[in-house]
Chains A and B, each alone.
Chain A
């Protein structure tokens, strides 16, 4: 196992109180495997990976609990100096915005040579030759001349290519790509993704691809973890997840993206409500307030991630990974296809009275509009 994250809990201490960013996330990654981490903004997908790299914003962010085993070594216990050696060499990162993740006052050459020399004892001449080779590899024309340019002289797509070249400079075992194409034009997105896929496959680099775009992970990854409010709510291989989504949130995500092959009657179904406030300690299932399938126990008990059929032997990684879901009342295949519960007489459970989180749910609107509260005002 290349990477094994166990019960990772990340909290931020802020002036507004504690932010429950990641609430016990576990996942595995084999050598050369590609894993997609999907979820909406603020669901903890980036924070999970910053925690793996131990790059959480200081002093607010810290790992409260859990292990990050990289080649059986627990990164959470590694001294900072060893961690620094590991960053870039064994685990590399690509960030969302190529416009801001390159230093504007240094040439591409200075930045690439610096990265190479930070980890390898090579002369500047050799490092430069390697940088030219890398730029050529990511498809930048005239690499020797471009090396002397500053970041502002490159277009967005070209800068992301430079970032990919820098990330792969030391042949890392794991590449974490945090929304690598979100800031790019759609046409450039495809090129950059194709490049990323080809280069990592050639080198056998494992990839964690963080994105909110299901279209991006569909073609890029072998396996997908869906995250919501700091929890992994569904984990499956990519074909399995798209064919048989079993968590109401995944179902909602798939129904909220327009499809070219959709029939004229098929409407987009938005996910009602807003993500929970992460400053409130999670009680029950985090998705319950927005869920059409919720039952009474969803308000009070948070389901853990488990196999669809209880008792199955669970495989946590690889192409044969078990389809797991964290839900008390998973939608059936028909319901998943329709995007709404189909059982006769089923209504989503009302939130328990006087619970602290009622205000966050869609039920809050109904309560506010009730005659009693109107009279009170």
Chain B
């Protein structure tokens, strides 16, 4: 492209999401994920580009008449071009090629230690009408040979990574506590031999917790996620035993014991929202004030639209209202230098702070694999023992690298055309594969049913991030990685 064309061509805006917080204008750049607060001249330049077609010379003249020094205008134009906020339309614009990841070292396995559960929660994707796993002929509980082979595989496939992570999942994980105990010991020994460190986490419904188990979990610094949906009425509407009895009265004393005895790692509550259980503030207050959780995260149940508990559009807006209400409370806490327990905001702020720009929505198939009770490897815990998302078998050749590479190629953001014009793609990248499969019958579909929600949520978190950055930036130091 000749120099003459460049100087004669007008400027255009690149892709970014503008937002305002506390009286300051910000831009969230796409796809880089960089967040900038605009100074006055930056704002003027963007307005100028928006107003009408102007070449560099015309920009300098226009802004000069508005009182800016020529040197400042020139410097600012160069900065905004180089930061990819604006571009000269005469510029030969070449999209940078993006390579799908290959041979990505493994970081985490999710051991499906059992496919059995002592509860019958109405929305469970393991047992409900949306079930995709095929457990017929598979053992109910994982045995130690499978767990050991999985840990060996993790160490081998983690290549140069200095630390690995083992997550225990189910079913109800504590139905197979003996295996869990062996797996922790084995993983510690084997990772130490390999010169690596290992961390553990566990999801449980808390029904089987006792002091011995809790002491073991505390000793090995196992991070814990407890599934609970709020107070007795809300929790027991879905989280019931096989005979229909609610689980609230059984689990709450055990959770209080857990919170009192286990201080070596985080313990969070995980709330599944459904059509009948959607009172966000009521749930949050109960779990933090009455039960004692320091961290509470919410997630709508994955369900096809014809399920009774499926959250419809109207209910979703009321849930979002509840989220927003809690999110502003998080902002107030952060500005005052206090930690708030609404983990959905915390997690999003952490991603926004680093400026993440994802090629994939999550680590499934990338740094994470699920392991079934018989040793089947899968995309993640939600696809364990399902014909979809198979990634090999522990005793039959280990990780199927061809399947994994094929998955990564077909699920790269570059292949999700629906996402290409969305400003939220650096953080969303199309959303959960399992959610997509339940809704659209294929893992590679973008989750278009919640796009507006994702954009609304990220816009809210950006505004909160901007305000914290202006009013108490030191709060954000907690999101710095070492």
Q: Is B a genuine binding partner of A?
A: no
Interface residues of B (CB under 8 A from A): none
